[in-house]
């Protein structure tokens, strides 16, 4: 187990390093002078000089990358030249909303998705309805779910606010319910489908037949012999879900006018505020990579066999 | 992203289903043919110019002249949806073609050469997996400016690893089959074996993978337009129409957003279900 964890950690650090290198290096792929790029396209010569100094653009590339990386690790994410402010101080007030939204959606996905999946695998009549619903659910982009929810629940029924993130825990809960549902929508369908397939497959296994023939109560069979084995594909999908939620949060925050990392990323991208884009992209990608590593570790805990073979 | 799962789990529920006519598949294929025809024939079948503004006719109810009504600027909704099909389908088609061609090439090379080449490409693909497609596309827009080109290229790269990974395992399995080994023993050159024997036999899987990717590419690209980072208004495009119509929802006119959203969902459902069914059929034949 220790070796398994160590291998995963090394892979994790390597992936993070390469990803950060790509995000940093992408700046130099863009046409034109990186200083102009960083300045957001409308810079006076003094500002350009300031940027060259701050980013040490005259130093070799690798030196600059290393400086940037060490700064990032110390919490210094650079400076936005559109806002003339530290990026970290711009991100701080926005992180909360995004984290709240993503966690809220993740809870919905796991709760509703796994329950529906189990129900449809165990009861055939529920099954066919759920199959049709998941096909449509999986094809519904978050922004389409968002406008349907806004039309029905915010405008026509007036139960929820149309936009904003609210303050305090309850205010947030109320404001972010529709966004979280919109964000979770397609993934609930996906998790339902995976859970259903995986539980069905376990149900037809020999050890389950044996347990049934020995008269073990169905409830116990499902809990002890089916569910635990069926969890492995489900946790794997949970890793994919995190990627989807991170990308989806960008869209949903925009749709509901929530001030979060995602909507700020879109704003920064259209303003060419590259320091901000870089910082947020790095944060999101790092979150995704770490979440996937955690999923790998969880799978290793659930299924000891993976610790031996699953090094990939 | 569901491609891998669909392919690996597909063989399970095949069997007796195969002989019966599959109405879901027929419906999906028909819808796709119709929507593609509509996109191609847009100039001839659209009742109005999609960009013809008529402020007086703002938010008109459906009528003989405007079968689906008009948007906030009095433009004919049906015509905008019809014209919108063009860019909404062209973008994902480009993404899928680029990702599939490059992905298949990488997959065959990796499966055939093995060794360090396989190892290096697998690592590179693993790292590409770390970038959610949409984030990659936004990064590209920040660098190269909004439009169709930057997001399409970015999403093609983001979709590469999914295609390459699935097809590599298919090619690897095929490579060890007797007929390929026979070609090898006969002394055929590698290029001939891979292009004339290996490629045609994995082509069904390539096709399935492309069909499945199409829906996701459409969703991602429409999201880029929705965020205002893709094609610029007043270009008719479904994702852009959803965003554009959102302001009217508060005024009680959700039609523009809902129609465009519905078309996106129907198109994606059709491609996903068709891809799933094809995957089942091909994997049955392969067994």
Q: Which residues contact A279 (CB under 8 A, 6 or more apart)?
A: A72, A77, A78, A87, A88, A91
Q: Which residues pair with A79 in a beta bridge?
A: A86
Contact A22 B222 (CB under 8 A): no
The structural domain count of chain A equals 2
Instruction: For chain A, say whether B149 makes contact (Cβ under 8 Å).
Output: no
| DSSP letter assigned to residue B12 | G
Does one domain contain both A65 and A91? no
Does one domain contain both A211 and A285? yes
DSSP string, A208-243: HHHHHHTT--HHHIIIIIIHHHHHHHHHHHHHHHHH
Does ipTM exceed 0.85? no
Is A78 inside any structural domain?
no
Is A30 inside any structural domain?
yes
Query: What is the per-residue pLDDT for B3?
Result: 39
Lowest mean pLDDT among A97-106, A154-163, A255-264, B128-137: A154-163
pTM score, two decimals? 0.85
Confidence of residue B40 (pLDDT cuts 50, 70, 90): very high
Average pLDDT over residues A149-176: 79
Last residue of a domain, one of A51, A73, A95: A73
Does one domain contain both A102 and A58? no
Q: How many CB atoms lie within 10 A of CB B49?
A: 13
Does one domain contain both A297 and A178? yes
CA B257 – CA A143 distance, rounded (Å): 10
Does one domain contain both A95 and A64? no
Most A-contacting residue of B7, B126, B139, B228 (CB-CB within 10 A), to test interface: B139
More confident residue, B222 or B251: B222
Confidence of residue B6 (pLDDT cuts 50, 70, 90): very low
Is residue B22 over pLDDT 90? no
For residue A185, the distance in angstroms to the closest alpha carbon of chain B comes to 13
Does one domain contain both A271 and A126? yes
Does one domain contain both A68 and A91? no
At A80, which helix (H) or strand (E)?
Answer: strand A79-80
What is the CATH number for A91?
A: 1.10.3720.10
Average pLDDT over residues B134-157: 89
Confidence of residue B8 (pLDDT cuts 50, 70, 90): very low
CA B152 – CA B224 distance, rounded (Å): 10
Does one domain contain both A202 and A273? yes
Last residue of a domain, one of A73, A106, A121: A73
Residue that has been written with the tokens 């880029």 in this structure: B224
For residue A189, the distance in angstroms to the closest alpha carbon of chain B comes to 12
Contact assessment for residue A57 and residue A51, using Cβ atoms and an 8 Å cutoff: yes
Query: What is the per-residue pLDDT for B157?
Result: 92
CA B217 – CA B133 distance, rounded (Å): 9
Which tokens is B147 given? 């439009």
Instruction: Give the residue numbers spanning the domain of A69.
Output: 2-73
Q: Which of A204, A249, A228 is nearest to A114 (CA)?
A: A228
Using CB atoms, which residue from A144, A246, A265 is nearest to B261? A144
Is A81 inside any structural domain?
no
Does one domain contain both A47 and A104? no
Query: What is the per-residue pLDDT for A251?
Result: 92
Is residue A153 over pLDDT 60? yes
Is residue B175 over pLDDT 90? no
Most B-contacting residue of A39, A147, A178, A284 (CB-CB within 10 A), to test interface: A147
**Residue B4: burial class (beta carbons within 10 Å; 0-12, 13-18, 19+):** middle
Does one domain contain both A57 and A119? no
Is A253 inside any structural domain?
yes
CA A281 – CA B249 distance, rounded (Å): 31
Last residue of a domain, one of A43, A73, A103: A73
Is residue B13 over pLDDT 50? no
Does one domain contain both A100 and A26? no
Is A175 inside any structural domain?
yes
Calculated CA dihedral for residues A147, A148, A151, A153, nearest 10 degrees: -120
Q: How many CB atoms lie within 10 A of CB A312?
A: 7
The torsion angles phi and psi of A190, rounded to 5 degrees, stand at -65, -50
Query: What is the per-residue pLDDT for B285?
Result: 61
Burial A18-28 (b: 16+ CB within 10 A, else e): bbbebbbebbe
Residues B48-99 pLDDT 10s: 888 888 778 778 788 878 888 888 787 888 889 999 999 999 999 999 999 9
More confident residue, A55 or B166: B166
């Amino acid at each position: 187990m220790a070796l398994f964890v160590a291998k995963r950690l090394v892979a994790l650090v390597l992936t993070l390093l390469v990803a950060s290198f790509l995000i940093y290096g992408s700046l130099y792929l863009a046409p034109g002078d990186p200083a102009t790029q960083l300045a957001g396209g409308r810079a006076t010569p003094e500002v350009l000089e300031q940027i060259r100094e701050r980013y040490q653009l005259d130093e070799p590339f690798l030196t600059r990358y290393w400086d940037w990386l060490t700064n990032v690790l110390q919490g210094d994410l650079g400076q936005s030249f559109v806002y003339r402010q530290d990026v970290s101080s711009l991100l701080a007030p926005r992180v909360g909303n995004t984290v709240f939204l993503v966690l809220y959606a993740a809870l919905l996905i796991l709760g509703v998705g796994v329950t529906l999946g189990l129900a449809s695998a165990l009861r055939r009549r529920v099954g066919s309805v759920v199959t049709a619903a998941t096909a449509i659910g999986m094809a519904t982009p978050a922004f389409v779910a968002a406008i349907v929810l806004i039309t029905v629940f915010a405008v026509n029924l007036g139960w929820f606010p149309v936009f904003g993130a609210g303050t305090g825990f309850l205010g947030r809960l109320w404001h972010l319910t529709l966004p979280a549902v919109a964000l979770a929508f397609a993934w609930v369908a996906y998790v339902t489908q995976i859970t259903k397939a995986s539980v069905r497959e376990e149900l037809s296994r020999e050890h389950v037949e044996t347990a049934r023939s020995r008269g073990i109560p169905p409830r116990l069979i499902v809990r002890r012999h089916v569910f635990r084995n069926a969890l492995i594909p489900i946790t794997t999908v949970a890793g994919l879900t995190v990627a989807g939620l991170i990308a989806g949060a960008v869209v949903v925050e925009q749709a509901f006018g929530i001030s979060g990392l995602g909507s700020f990323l879109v704003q920064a991208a259209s303003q060419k505020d590259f320091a901000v884009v870089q910082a947020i992209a790095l944060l999101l990608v790092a979150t995704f990579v770490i979440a996937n590593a955690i999923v790998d570790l969880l799978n290793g805990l659930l299924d000891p066999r993976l610790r031996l073979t699953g090094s990939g | 992203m569901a491609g891998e799962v669909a392919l690996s789990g597909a063989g399970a529920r095949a069997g007796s289903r195969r002989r019966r006519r599959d109405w879901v598949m027929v419906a999906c294929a028909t819808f796709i043919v119709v929507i593609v025809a509509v996109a191609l024939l847009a100039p001839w079948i659209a009742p109005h110019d999609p960009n013809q503004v008529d402020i007086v006719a703002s938010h008109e109810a459906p009528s003989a002249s405007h079968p689906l009504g008009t948007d906030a600027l009095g433009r004919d909704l049906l015509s905008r949806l019809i014209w919108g099909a063009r860019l909404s389908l062209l973008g994902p088609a480009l993404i899928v073609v680029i990702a599939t061609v490059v992905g298949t090439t990488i997959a065959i090379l990796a499966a055939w050469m093995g060794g360090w080449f396989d190892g290096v490409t697998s690592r590179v693909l693993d790292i590409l997996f770390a970038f959610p497609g949409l984030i990659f596309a936004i990064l590209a827009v920040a660098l190269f400016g909004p439009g169709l080109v930057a997001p399409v290229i970015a999403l093609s790269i983001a979709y590469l690893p999914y295609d390459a990974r699935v097809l590599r395992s298919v090619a690897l399995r095929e490579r060890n089959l007797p007929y390929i080994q026979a070609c090898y023993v006969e002394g055929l050159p590698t290029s001939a074996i891979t292009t004339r024997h290996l490629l045609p036999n994995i082509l069904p899987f390539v096709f399935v993978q492309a069909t499945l990717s199409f829906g996701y590419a459409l969703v991602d690209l429409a999201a880029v337009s929705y965020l205002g980072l893709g094609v610029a208004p007043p270009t008719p495009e479904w994702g852009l129409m959803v965003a554009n119509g959102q302001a009217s929802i508060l005024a009680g006119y959700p039609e523009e957003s809902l129609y465009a959203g519905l078309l996106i969902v129907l198109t994606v459902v059709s491609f996903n279900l068709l891809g799933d069914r094809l995957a089942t059929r091909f994997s049955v034949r392969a067994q």
